[in-house]
Structure 1
């Protein structure tokens, strides 16, 4: 009997409650590995709802019992859980995942519009001119603001309905308010779902462009381990660069193979690359010019001492600087010393090469 009880499928109420609690844990920062479990539970719950025919074709809100009305949230909850599943096969896997989330959300909005006239009316307003012309940036912003305001109004209406249910006095009033709370919850989920569909459409557009622009990967399968090493094969078809097998002999004459990886210098330019931008070079030139200007100004303002003054006697006479007797005497002594040196060392006196022959 225990085995039969374990093999019996769980009722939809238990599946829905378990999945809803697990999704709440995921959205509060729980382990992302539980997302697949949550999706599986919601799949079973939706299959049970289909088996019970809770939402037949053409049904309205009046055709569904209050106890079964919340199960219309299953497609939206499944999309939220599926969006948190970890994808390990790149953009293609993420594309398939987001497409399934988009499909679940569209199914939920369709069901919510059938159950609630207010959701159906909002959907009609949102799709008035979608096929007539491409929306402008102003239209996109206006729609985003409208969705945000609708989401805020629905959340406030849900909170107000929950407060009213809490304050209910009679069972009849409580039954009526319970249905109002579920309808308000459907409207709140629909507003959130419309915003999520817009985000899904943007991501799908980006992922489809990535998939169309991705070049096909063609990797030649290596014949053996040495061929795999020489080709630089990696798991997933990625290569690690050109590899070379060098053969040489050691001192004993034994042939040895050395495996080397040629990486640096293969794709380098033949010229030296710049080390700074033009703006940085201009800043350095301006600073150098300012420093030279300051040095020239300081040199012009500096008056040399008598020992530093290298002017000759005739230059001092031309510049009418004869009243500076010390400077004049110093220049005359320097000129006389130079004249004496020239007299003692005539031109060519240092050339002794001819006298040695």
Structure 2
């Protein structure tokens, strides 16, 4: 039986402080603090705390490779996820170059593998689907590394087809969803026990307090295992792009080192040429060079055609928004208010204009004598116009007048 998490917290703290009179720092409290820092978006503060926690757990020999899941105490299950949290924090670190990002991706992948390896050794946590997926990941990376398991994790040739990868991704999603639902059910069960005031030894729905806490910890580990497999897959795809980005940065660094400061790329340089590159031809052997210079219509600054094209290399191929959603909403509200005001003004202007008597009755203005007289004149004029212009009179070679009029 391995040591429990609580017992190891005191022993490792005493060993690190060298003085048993100092208050011990709980490992569970450190783990809770680190996860809170990750949730708050502070991975820079969480990484050293989790690294120290990982070293303390390794020094205290909290886990043994020949132990099974039944041999691990319930209080010792949460620290199994230290590598997972550390890998997540490292993956969230910000870097200023592709080399730094590649280093973080490699380190996080190794930590995810360490986390999954520990769960796989204990058994009964990953489940058949996640365990099978993890075996495929190991085989792919072993093929990519030439069979060297100690080499940095890289993406090997795919051993599964696209439908198989899709099925594996669906299986990971279902495993994560099932673990989340199980955790929600157990959390509700623990709250019920608290409301009912049951002792830890009393059972509710077949679980005592120890069983509820243990099942909760296992559900969390199973959810993290599914997320770790997803992160390993996405990290392998990101590594392919990072390798190309690193090569481009190295090429730019070499070109900048052998290029005179303050000079363009077409100016001949003095000194040895970089290895593997031909020396540039002299300027007088290439004839006249044409440089196109344009002027920005907005700022009035002069622009080189080369610089203009260079600035648009990574420009999106679709039209970008010219305003934010808030600005667009404010404009729509302003236009709606203006339309409403214009409509009210038009209604007020048309209110005193003559119109058909039926419209006066509909608007409730049949008592206005002047408006009724003007409307009657409008009706008479309309009737006179219809008499002078019978329906169908404008049709060529047709009978004059309307037979049904």
Bucket of the pairwise TM-score, normalised by the shorter protein: 0.5 to 0.7
Contact 2:130 2:172 in 1 (8 A): no
Distance in 2 of aligned mates of 1:12 and 1:201: 32
Residues 255-284 of structure 1 show CA distances to partners (whole Å, capped at 9, x for unaligned) of: xxxxxxx99439979xxxxxxxxxxxxxxx
Corresponding residue number in structure 2 for 1:126: 133
Residue in 1 aligned with 2:27? 12
Of 117, 139, 143, the match for 2:164? 139
Q: Give the deviation of 1:64 after TM superposition.
A: 1.9
Q: Within 1, Cα distance between the matches of 2:177 and 2:130?
A: 17
- Is 2:185 the partner of 1:185? no
Structure 1 residue 100 corresponds to structure 2 residue 107: yes
Q: TM-score scaled to structure 2, two decimals? A: 0.50
CA distance in 2, matches of 1:116, 1:58: 11
- 5+ residue gaps, structure 1, are 27-33, 223-227, 234-238, 244-261, 270-357
Runs in 1 of length 4+ with deviation above 6 angstroms?
Answer: 4-9, 266-269
Does the alignment pair 1:170 with 2:209?
no
**In the alignment, is the contact (CA less than 8 A) between 1:114 and 1:120 conserved in 2?**
no
Aligned counterparts, 1:332-343, within 5 A: none
> What SS does the aligned partner of 1:171 have?
coil
User: Shift in Å at residue 199 of structure 1?
Assistant: 1.0
* CA apart distance, 1:220: 7.3
CA–CA distance in 2 between the matches of 1:11 and 1:128?
Answer: 35
The match for 1:203 is 238
CA contact (8 A) 2:130 2:226 kept: no
Answer yes or no: is the 8 Å Cα contact 2:43–2:92 preserved in 1: yes
Q: Distance in 2 between matches of 1:140 and 1:210?
A: 26
Aligned residue number for residue 95 of structure 2:
87
Deviation string for 1:179-206 (max 9, x for gaps)?
1111111111111211111111111122
Larger Rg: 1
Look up the match of 2:178: 153
CA RMSD in angstroms comes to: 3.5
Gaps of 5+ in 2: 1-18, 141-157, 202-207, 269-288, 294-303, 307-405
TM-score w.r.t. the length of structure 1 is 0.56
Take 1:106 and 1:14, find their aligned partners in 2: how far apart are those partners?
25
Asked whether the equivalents of residues 232 and 241 of structure 1 are also in contact (C-alpha less than 8 Å), the reply is no
Could you list the per-position Cα deviations for residues 27-68 of structure 1 after superposition, in whole angstroms to 9, with x for gaps in the alignment?
xxxxxxx31210111011111111221112222222222112
Determine the C-alpha separation between the residues in 2 that align with 1:87 and 1:263: 40
Task: State the SS of the aligned residue for 1:218.
Answer: helix
Map Cα deviations across residues 262-316 of structure 1 (whole Å, 9 max, x no partner). 99439979xxxxxxxxxxxxxxxxxxxxxxxxxxxxxxxxxxxxxxxxxxxxxxx
Q: Is 1:115 aligned with 2:151? A: no
CA offsets, 1:2-23, max 9 Å, x none?
Answer: xx89998844233212112111
- Does residue 90 of structure 2 align to residue 65 of structure 1? no
Query: CA contact under 8 A between 2:125 and 2:218: conserved in structure 1?
Result: no
Q: What's 2:45 paired with? A: 37
Match of 2:86 among 66, 69, 78: 78
Distance in 1, Cα, partners of 2:65 & 2:172: 28
Aligned to 2:254: 218
The separation in 2 between residues aligned to 1:81 and 1:199, in whole angstroms, is: 16
Give the aligned partner of residue 51 of structure 1: 59
Change (3 A) 1:124 1:268: closer
Between stretches 131-140 and 111-120, larger displacement belongs to 131-140
Aligned partners of 1:60, 1:263: CA distance in 2, in Å?
Answer: 75
- In 2, distance between residues paired with 1:206 and 1:38? 27
Q: Matches of 1:170 and 1:7 in 2, distance apart?
A: 33
